[in-house]
């Protein structure tokens, strides 16, 4: 099993460009999450999907959109990237909301 | 004030020492997680607990719900334990079903 996979691993964008971060899990988990990690801030939840077909805002949703494409895949889209979105992005999944979360390897995004 | 506070922020130990990392939270919770972030960036879940104590190998996690406090202990520490250890709580007043994370404790174990 690959667990949680994310693509790409690294990305550099110019301000105003758009991109989609991809996440997939092969553990048949119901719940999936997108986090960002910034120095001195800890991990912060951007959006989550409690189950296939549902998505909800987390702590810092502004500037992002998500799609739960199917049970396996949960993508994060930046429509118009800003330097404040420079961060490391982690996708995670869990069998259900209160249970142990499994994290992907992260995507390091730089917006210039 | 953050909902989740960890101490210390940085910890350096010699191989073999007993290590304790603390986590205090200010809200009622339904569960608490301990995570480990490797130097390469990968994050692994170590424990999820809502009461009492859990042990896995050289790692022990305890929680005191009344005191809103949890500790992560590492016995016989080893350089490969060097990582950032993150505490996260589920079910806080503002977070509901979301995890709220502490800023992490950077642990360095020297040989």
Of B31, B99, B103, the CB nearest to A45: B99
Q: Please count the residues of chain A.
A: 112
Task: Please give the structure tokens belonging to residue B2.
Answer: 């953050």
Residue A112: its pLDDT value, please? Answer: 96
Chain B contact set for A59 (CB, 8 A): 95, 98
Is A102 in contact with B45 (Cβ distance < 8 A)?
A: yes
Q: If we measure between CA atoms, which residue out of B101, B89, B93 comes closest to residue B32?
A: B89
Give the CA count within 13 Å in the CB-facing half-sphere of B23: 29
* DSSP state, residue B44: E
Q: What is the DSSP letter of B81?
A: G
Report residue B102 CA to chain centroid gap: 9
Report chain A residues whose CB lies below 8 A from the CB of B99: 43, 45, 101
pLDDT in tens, B49-84: 989 999 999 999 999 999 999 999 999 999 999 999
Q: Which residue has the higher pLDDT, B95 or A89?
A: A89
Query: Measured between beta carbons, which residues in chain A are less than 8 angstroms from residue B43?
Result: 90, 92, 103, 106
Q: Report, in angstroms and rounded to the nearest whole number, the Rg of chain A calculated over CA atoms.
A: 13
Distance from CA of B102 to the nearest CA of A (A): 6
What is the per-residue pLDDT across B1-56, written as a single tens digit (0 to 9) for each?
Answer: 568 999 999 999 999 999 999 999 987 788 899 999 998 888 999 999 989 999 99
A40:B88 CB<8 A: no
Would you list the DSSP string of chain A?
---EEEE-SEEEE-TT--EEEEEEESS--SEEEEEEEETTTEEEEEEEESSTT--EE-S--TTEEEEE-SSSBEEEEESS--GGG-EEEEEEEESSTTS--EE---EEEEE-
pLDDT of residue B90: 86
Strand ranges for chain B from DSSP E: 4-7, 10-14, 19-25, 31-37, 43-49, 52-56, 59-64, 69-74, 83-90, 99-101, 105-110
* pLDDT at site A42: 84
Q: What is the pLDDT along chain A (112 residues), one digit of tens a residue?
A: 679 999 999 999 999 999 999 999 999 999 999 999 998 788 999 999 999 999 999 989 999 999 998 999 999 999 999 999 999 999 999 998 778 899 999 999 999 9
Task: State how far the Cα of B109 lies from the Cα of B111, in Å rounded to an integer.
Answer: 7
Q: Do B41 and A88 touch (CB under 8 A)?
A: yes
For chain A, say whether B93 makes contact (Cβ under 8 Å).
Answer: no
Which chain B residue lies closest to A39 (C-alpha atoms)?
B103
Spell out which residues of chain B touch residue A41, defining contact as CB-CB under 8 Å: 103
Check the CA dihedral A38-B88-A92-A67 and report its sign: negative
Closest residue in B to A38 (Cα) is B103
pLDDT band per the 50, 70, 90 thresholds, residue B96: low
Residue B91 pLDDT grade (very low, low, confident, very high; cuts 50, 70, 90)? confident
- Pairs across A and B, CB distance < 8 A: 47
């Amino acid at each position: 099993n690959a667990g949680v996979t994310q693509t790409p691993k690294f990305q550099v964008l110019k301000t105003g460009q758009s991109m989609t971060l991809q996440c997939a899990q092969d553990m048949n988990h119901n719940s999936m999450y997108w986090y960002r990690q910034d120095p001195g801030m800890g991990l912060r939840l951007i959006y989550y999907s409690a189950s296939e077909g549902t998505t909800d805002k987390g702590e810092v949703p502004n500037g992002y959109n998500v799609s739960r494409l199917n049970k396996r895949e949960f993508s994060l889209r930046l429509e118009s990237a800003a330097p404040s979105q420079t961060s490391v992005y982690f996708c995670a999944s869990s069998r259900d909301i209160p249970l142990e979360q499994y994290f992907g390897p992260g995507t390091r995004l730089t917006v210039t | 004030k953050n909902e989740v506070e960890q101490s210390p922020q940085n910890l350096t130990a010699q191989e073999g020492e007993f290590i304790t990392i603390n986590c205090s939270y200010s809200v009622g919770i339904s569960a608490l997680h301990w995570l480990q972030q490797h130097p390469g960036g990968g994050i692994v879940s170590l424990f999820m607990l809502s009461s009492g104590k859990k042990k896995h190998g050289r790692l022990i996690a305890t929680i005191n719900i009344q005191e809103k406090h949890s500790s992560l202990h590492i016995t016989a520490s080893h350089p490969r334990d060097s990582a950032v250890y993150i505490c996260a709580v589920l079910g806080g007043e503002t977070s509901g079903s979301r995890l709220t994370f502490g800023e992490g404790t950077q642990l360095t174990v020297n040989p």
